[in-house]
Amino acid sequence: MRTDEHILEMAQQAASAARAVARLSAETKNLILHQMAQGILQHDESILTANARDLQAAQSAGLSHAMLDRLRLDHPRLEAMAEGLCQVARLPDPVGKELSVVRRPNGLIIRKVRVPLGVVAVIYESRPNVTADAAGLCFKAGNAAILRGGSEATHSNDAIFDAMLAAGRSEGLPNHAIQLVKTTDHEAVHALLQLEQYIDLVIPRGGESLIRAVAEHSKVPVLKHYKGVCHVYVDRAADLDMAVKIVINAKCQRPGVCNAMETLLVHEEIAEVFLPRVADELISQGVELRGDERTCGLVAQAKSATHQDWSEEYLDLILAVAVVGDLEAAIDHIQRYGTHHSDVIVTADDKAAQRFTREVDSATVYINASSRFTDGYEFGMGAEIGISTGKLHARGPCGLEELTTYKYIIQGTGQIRQ
Amino acid sequence: MRTDEHILEMAQQAASAARAVARLSAETKNLILHQMAQGILQHDESILTANARDLQAAQSAGLSHAMLDRLRLDHPRLEAMAEGLCQVARLPDPVGKELSVVRRPNGLIIRKVRVPLGVVAVIYESRPNVTADAAGLCFKAGNAAILRGGSEATHSNDAIFDAMLAAGRSEGLPNHAIQLVKTTDHEAVHALLQLEQYIDLVIPRGGESLIRAVAEHSKVPVLKHYKGVCHVYVDRAADLDMAVKIVINAKCQRPGVCNAMETLLVHEEIAEVFLPRVADELISQGVELRGDERTCGLVAQAKSATHQDWSEEYLDLILAVAVVGDLEAAIDHIQRYGTHHSDVIVTADDKAAQRFTREVDSATVYINASSRFTDGYEFGMGAEIGISTGKLHARGPCGLEELTTYKYIIQGTGQIRQ
């Protein structure tokens, strides 16, 4: 069978499985999730053997240490994967939740009810744990899932998928409710992205180039974030002790993630006091500073930033720093170079905070807290399928609710329109 | 200036105007809307003169009577347009509404707040009233709007726009908050659809070919409905008197609109009694019937339906009719040929109703009521910008709330992540 025909068949099977998944009770879905977790633990040896094959191939291919680490599985990682499925089972079922109800003068009762999206495709790169995480979240939200992992993790993904599937079926997982694309050719992804009549949402997870390629070619709506160029703006009315703490945390606590700060903006009235102080602290933590002209005038160790630095997602111990004339200039900077992810104002001035939170057009805006909290668990939503920097459908951390839509269910007693 | 440069400039101006619009209070927005309504009434003669020019050109070009009627303005239509703006002014402001608030164990207060989308582009065809309707809705929801009307209505749209703008400015309508694309070349639309960095949403309003062309070429997310192939399924447990009333209303009350019924499905156990009866009634209302084999066996006047009929949006006094073996077959038919718009079950059987509403994947599903109620006013939402048959972002009638998104505003007291 040709790749595009094979993918079409998978998508059609997913669309019909979606009806069966949508019918399952929360109890049944939770039993299946627990069973899938068990399946992973019971097949630990075969999963690790498969993973060893992937690792060997990756080593021969000369993949970087970081890539190898992402690919590597061990017992603790398998246990975390299984525990992830059990955690999803413990989250409340979003399906069927009544979002609003109105009774119209003509007696019609209009209920707006949360329902599954239908079919969700997840396209991801080297981390094999996504196979379990994405399957669990899509399934709990009542969707059929089509998973497509990276070619470097193909044996690991197959083994995890097979273990979950066999276990889930024993508790009533519907046929084709979770499918893994096993062909590794690139054409499969392209074929998937054309099938808007069967697939309701595609979620790319991985580097910016993967996400851009998916967004560029997809006819199916895409839930995505490109990158996180997150800002901390230290206002003239900031508590400077607090500001230092927040800046250090936002930059250094885990620099390689999307909610880490990449650019620091400082109000000119406090720059002379604040910048040398925070710079000392940052440099002592190993951070390289790239400043605008005024920053370099105040901090001798700062290199000169180029225009490119303002848009850079370093994901590393590097920080761009600029002095701004006022709140408006800070907002302008963020609007121009930011990525609508997470941005922070440190200030004791309520008016400044209000203006910042209203005008900075980001999924998450913080007053006096680190940007590092943008995360499903930290928000109390549980596991997330990703963080959306788009504005349509869902914004910020996306968990179970964001994997659903709604419909209007209207109960009448024979009403007709006059 | 080249068209694409001109459109780019408009989009950039809209993006910066969006910040100013987002800052306006509900009171200011309402004053501006009332003033814009006044502007239309005060410039009635110049609008009607402009409209006469469009009508003359359209007549010379040989446009159909239906097209000419859509294009034509008169005093009552101008008054309705002005009243539409006043009605939008009276609707509650969606911006700033708190959708949820949680206090986390670390003291962070996470508020999910409704905010404007930013910049909304509306691309429409011959009805000039859309210029006022779309401007009013986008503006009230806190967005900057870019409007692009049909070339056949260009003088009318210009005159309405100029009247609204002059009046709105006198009450503080921000510059570039509402813009009309005045060049009529097709390139302008194409250029608009590429500007995903400035435009947050595009809404095509018009025939299926316009909507498909926009969806095909747009990099900006599109809120759309292609067509409404709406079904009424008369279950074996239906009250047949009620079913006749609903079928007649759904087909005949206004056949040219998207929420009119196009296909009738009848359970085989009642077909022999119900079909001849409802057919008599439909035929007496001038409806042409196109039936499957079993329908034609029961209703002599029915023509044979072709496969094409099941997907047809007639928008006319024509009805496709099929007999189905059971509820599941009815759902299968709707899933296969429907357009996710509005579908009805007539039944006294709660279980059947529940299964229908759960499994029919449409924006609006009805139990014992006519499909004709899918409409912003009938839902109590007020004016609508359109009806979405997509599942992402918004589904069904889209009013002010659907022209917004949300952001998370997080208030801290110096929290950092451990």
Domains of chain B: 3-223+398-411 (3.40.605.10), 230-373 (3.40.309.10)
- What's the pLDDT band for B226 if we cut at 50, 70, 90? confident
B171: its two tokens: 């009450």
- What's the pLDDT band for A6 if we cut at 50, 70, 90? very high
- What's the pLDDT band for A339 if we cut at 50, 70, 90? very high
Q: What is the mean pLDDT of residues A349-373?
A: 97
For residue A156, the distance in angstroms to the closest alpha carbon of chain B comes to 32
Which residues in chain A have their CB less than 8 angstroms from residue B239's CB?
414
The verdict on a CB contact (< 8 Å) between A368 and B246 is: no
For residue A365, the distance in angstroms to the closest alpha carbon of chain B comes to 5
Q: Is the pLDDT of residue A338 over 80?
A: yes
pLDDT at A1: 79
- Shortest CA distance from B110: residue in chain A: A379
- Shortest CA distance from B406: residue in chain A: A395
Q: Is the pLDDT of residue B410 over 90?
A: yes
The verdict on a CB contact (< 8 Å) between B200 and A364 is: no
**The residue count for chain B:** 418
Q: Is the pLDDT of residue B224 over 90?
A: no
- Shortest CA distance from B370: residue in chain A: A416
- What's the pLDDT band for A137 if we cut at 50, 70, 90? very high
pLDDT at B183: 82
Which residues in chain A have their CB less than 8 angstroms from residue B406's CB?
395
For residue B364, the distance in angstroms to the closest alpha carbon of chain A comes to 5
pLDDT tens for each residue of B104-141: 999 999 999 999 999 999 999 878 999 999 999 999 99
Chains A and B form CB pairs within 8 A to the count of 186
pLDDT at A51: 98
pLDDT at A129: 93
- Shortest CA distance from A221: residue in chain B: B392
pLDDT tens for each residue of A214-254: 988 899 999 987 789 999 999 999 999 999 999 999 999 99
Decide: A51 and A72 in contact? Cβ < 8 Å.
Answer: yes
Q: Is the pLDDT of residue B379 over 90?
A: yes
Q: For residue B108, give the nearest of A22, A369, A415 by CB distance.
A: A369
Q: Is the pLDDT of residue A115 over 90?
A: yes
For residue B333, the distance in angstroms to the closest alpha carbon of chain A comes to 13
pLDDT at B34: 98
ipTM summary value: 0.94
Tell which of B407, B411, B413, B418 to mutate to test the A interface (max A CBs under 10 Å): B407
The verdict on a CB contact (< 8 Å) between A414 and B365 is: no
Q: What is the mean pLDDT of residues A316-326?
A: 98
Which residues in chain B have their CB less than 8 angstroms from residue A101's CB?
none
d(CA A236, CA A348) in angstroms, rounded, equals 9
Distance separating the N- and C-terminal Cα atoms of chain B? 54
The verdict on a CB contact (< 8 Å) between A369 and B405 is: no
For residue A63, the distance in angstroms to the closest alpha carbon of chain B comes to 31
The verdict on a CB contact (< 8 Å) between B358 and A23 is: yes
Which residues in chain A have their CB less than 8 angstroms from residue B380's CB?
102, 104, 110
For residue B380, the distance in angstroms to the closest alpha carbon of chain A comes to 7
Do the bridges between strand B303-304 and strand B318-324 make them parallel or antiparallel, or are there none, so unpaired? unpaired
Tell which of B259, B358, B389 to mutate to test the A interface (max A CBs under 10 Å): B358
DSSP character for A39?
H
Tell which of A240, A410, A411, A418 to mutate to test the B interface (max B CBs under 10 Å): A410
pLDDT at A227: 86
- What's the pLDDT band for B382 if we cut at 50, 70, 90? confident
Do the bridges between strand B201-205 and strand B230-234 make them parallel or antiparallel, or are there none, so unpaired? unpaired
pLDDT at B388: 94
d(CA A363, CA A360) in angstroms, rounded, equals 9
The verdict on a CB contact (< 8 Å) between A416 and B370 is: yes
d(CA B204, CA B225) in angstroms, rounded, equals 9
Of A178-187, B170-179, B310-319, give the lowest mean pLDDT range: A178-187
- What's the pLDDT band for A183 if we cut at 50, 70, 90? confident
Backbone angles phi, psi at B106, to 5 degrees: -85, 5
Q: For residue B407, give the nearest of A364, A368, A406 by CB distance.
A: A364
A250: its two tokens: 């936002």
pTM (2 d.p.): 0.93
Which residues in chain A have their CB less than 8 angstroms from residue B359's CB?
19, 22-23
For residue B21, the distance in angstroms to the closest alpha carbon of chain A comes to 10
pLDDT at A185: 82
Q: For residue A370, give the nearest of B364, B392, B416 by CB distance.
A: B416
Q: Is the pLDDT of residue B177 over 80?
A: yes
Percent of chain B with pLDDT over 70: 100
- What's the pLDDT band for B8 if we cut at 50, 70, 90? very high
Percent of chain B with pLDDT over 90: 90
Q: Of B330, B417, B211, B70, nearest to A260 (Cα)?
A: B417
For residue B252, the distance in angstroms to the closest alpha carbon of chain A comes to 11
CA atoms within 13 A on the CB side of B176: 15
Q: For residue B22, give the nearest of A358, A411, A412 by CB distance.
A: A358
Q: For residue B412, give the nearest of A200, A201, A366 by CB distance.
A: A366
Q: For residue B410, give the nearest of A359, A364, A407 by CB distance.
A: A364
The verdict on a CB contact (< 8 Å) between B367 and A393 is: no
Q: Is the pLDDT of residue A417 over 80?
A: yes
Backbone angles phi, psi at A392, to 5 degrees: -90, 145
- What's the pLDDT band for B375 if we cut at 50, 70, 90? very high
The verdict on a CB contact (< 8 Å) between A379 and B412 is: no
For residue A348, the distance in angstroms to the closest alpha carbon of chain B comes to 10
Tell which of A391, A398, A401, A413 to mutate to test the B interface (max B CBs under 10 Å): A391
- What's the pLDDT band for A165 if we cut at 50, 70, 90? very high
Which residues in chain A have their CB less than 8 angstroms from residue B351's CB?
none
Q: Is the pLDDT of residue A363 over 90?
A: yes
For residue A298, the distance in angstroms to the closest alpha carbon of chain B comes to 25
pLDDT at A383: 87
Q: For residue A407, give the nearest of B363, B392, B416 by CB distance.
A: B363
Q: For residue A409, give the nearest of B104, B365, B415 by CB distance.
A: B365
d(CA B264, CA B230) in angstroms, rounded, equals 9
pLDDT at A41: 98
- Shortest CA distance from B416: residue in chain A: A370
Which 3 state secondary structure label does DSSP give B291?
A: strand
- What's the pLDDT band for A206 if we cut at 50, 70, 90? confident
**The residue count for chain A:** 418
- Shortest CA distance from B346: residue in chain A: A414
d(CA A89, CA A93) in angstroms, rounded, equals 9
pLDDT tens for each residue of B341-360: 999 999 999 999 999 999 99
pLDDT tens for each residue of B12-40: 999 999 999 999 999 999 999 999 999 99
- Shortest CA distance from A242: residue in chain B: B414
The verdict on a CB contact (< 8 Å) between B365 and A410 is: yes
Which residues in chain A have their CB less than 8 angstroms from residue B387's CB?
none
Residue carrying the six token digits 């080297």: A126
Q: Is the pLDDT of residue B66 over 90?
A: no
Do the bridges between strand B318-324 and strand B261-267 make them parallel or antiparallel, or are there none, so unpaired? parallel
Which residues in chain A have their CB less than 8 angstroms from residue B407's CB?
357, 361-365, 395-396
Which residues in chain B have their CB less than 8 angstroms from residue A372's CB?
416-417
Residue carrying the six token digits 């109105």: A102
Do the bridges between strand B144-148 and strand B119-124 make them parallel or antiparallel, or are there none, so unpaired? parallel
Q: What angle do CA A344, B109, B92 make, to 5 degrees?
A: 95
Which residues in chain B have their CB less than 8 angstroms from residue A409's CB?
357, 365, 367
- What's the pLDDT band for A108 if we cut at 50, 70, 90? very high
The verdict on a CB contact (< 8 Å) between B368 and A108 is: no
Q: What angle do CA A31, A34, A39 make, to 5 degrees?
A: 120
The verdict on a CB contact (< 8 Å) between B391 and A200 is: yes
CA atoms within 13 A on the CB side of A207: 8
* Average pLDDT of chain A to the nearest whole number: 95
